[in-house]
Structure 1
Amino acid sequence: MRIAITGANGQLGRALIATLARHHDVVALGHDQLELSDPATVDQIANTRAEVVIHAAAYTNVDGCARDPVLAYRVNGLGTRYVALGCRRIDAAMVYISTNEVFAGTSHRPYYEDDPTGPINPYGQSKLAGEQEVRFLVARHFIVRVAWLFGGERNFVQTVLRLAANPPNGVLRMVADEIGSPTYAGDVAAGLARLITTDYYGTYHFVNDGICSRYEFAAEILRQAGIDTPLLPIRLRDFQRDSTPPPYTPLANIAGAALGITFRPWQEAVADYLERLRSAHV
């Protein structure tokens, strides 16, 4: 199968290439090859002659999106429209990588795939705009929401390790009332490799099993890494930032599980990732 991947240099893009290139003809499209906000993206996608396009590229700087909502929409909303139009032109199936932040965070249980959305920040709003473009323009589509993604060079796990090495005032502070679903990029890539071989189009939540707060996530990272830096829980309202994150957005993998696509506990995925980091520095 010929598969085009946007965002090829991102943490999910790299995991997808590593997973899919073993059995498929992969066309990798990084930022140097593709400027999403440019209408020329339509032609560039069409020129790949791909059977499946996995659109993993996005403007994911959540605080940057809050500072410049127009840029967020141009890249994540309009840019996704251009990718979708390119898919239409060559009759390619499309996979759109979306986010937990399309939800408001007011639920009292993990969100199901068809629960009402209601993003409360410009990043979530721009990603929801992308979902709407895909649903309208591409009949054969998979919308796959992920959350709290780690697996590359810049992510929450790496941030915790970096801050723990030199914590401000000797203490690491993490938010205890933001709850979500940690997700390992390699596990998402494996799940997508199975999903794209089916014709069960629709919306999916691909996250590792289990939920936690940012504080609990950080505590587990430190425990597994053997680091004893003091960790202090704080509240969302005490952490000043430009964006407002939804406080409770765990995702339930119901549609994927019905196809037999399930994910291991997030703690096991963290252990795998930390082992990979150790091996890379040996």
Structure 2
Amino acid sequence: MKRYFIIISSLLIVLLSFFIIKTLKERTPQYSTLSIKNIGNFDIINTCAQYPKFLTKLKIPQPIAIDLSQQQHKGLAFLYGHKLRQFLHLKTWEKFDYFSTYVFDPQGHTYLTPMPYISIKEKTFEFQKNIYKVDTHSGKLSIWMTLEEVKATSRNPYGLISLDYDCDDHTLWVSAIDETSYSLNKGVIYHIDIKSKKILNKIEGFDALSLKLVTSNTGKQLLFGGAKDNVLYALDITSLTIKKLFELPNREEKIRKIKLRNQNLLELQTIPFGYSLIAQTSQTGNRRYYQLKWNDSYSSWQLSSK
């Protein structure tokens, strides 16, 4: 009888221990262990970007947003007013077809990268090698710089795709994904001096679908989402070394936009990008949004859906 009592007691202790461990595990925050790397703590900083001066002349009130969705306006449009329902759109802003991303500089000039849209036209491939500019005073859209080595083709219609502005040295970071195929990753990230239009650096072998500069306590980093994989990368702009920060759970999702929302907090927009035109230009449910937070206490990234 005593032996059975010991056996039953032991079983109860094992079951109780399992229940306690399971309960504690459920109450403890779970952090992803995928590709745990970090760039140090980072935070939002004041931007040098200014709205174009022609908007003030036209007495267009803030808030203002640029619409590149191509759903209602070809090229670009400035949205304003209650719930951004009013718009400013010039016919001359349509002459280079469609745009992918934009940045403002301290004077209010707007720099844009191109994007092919749904169907290929006569000048589609030619448009993909240019960085475009909207003048802050006149609102005139023109080609600011051409990178002749960027060659979009029917096999891969993309060329220059994303850019960001560095307020510290007044340079542009621009990415191109034109030479990549399903088997080769031959993308280029360009670092361009705005005043001289000189290419300061070329980082080759990475297809960057999105770019975002952040400053952390380890230095300035250029974050970018891979066009061929579901990975968020960081380029140290001083050493020009690249590290893998985080891998999304779904391999089909590619990071199309990166926004800095708060201290150590990023917002990621993803699409099922595959170098075809449909997924990139669609505004349907293919786009997903995530928050990615670096938790310094756990030395880990936390991913959550929005």
Same fold? TM cut 0.5:
no
What TM-score do you get using the length of structure 2 for normalisation?
0.29
Q: Which has the larger radius of gyration?
A: 2
Query: Hey, which of these two has a bigger chunk of helix by percent?
Result: 1
**Which structure ranks higher in relative contact order (CA pairs < 8 Å, sequence separation ≥ 6)?**
1
Query: Hey, which of these two has a bigger chunk of strand by percent?
Result: 2
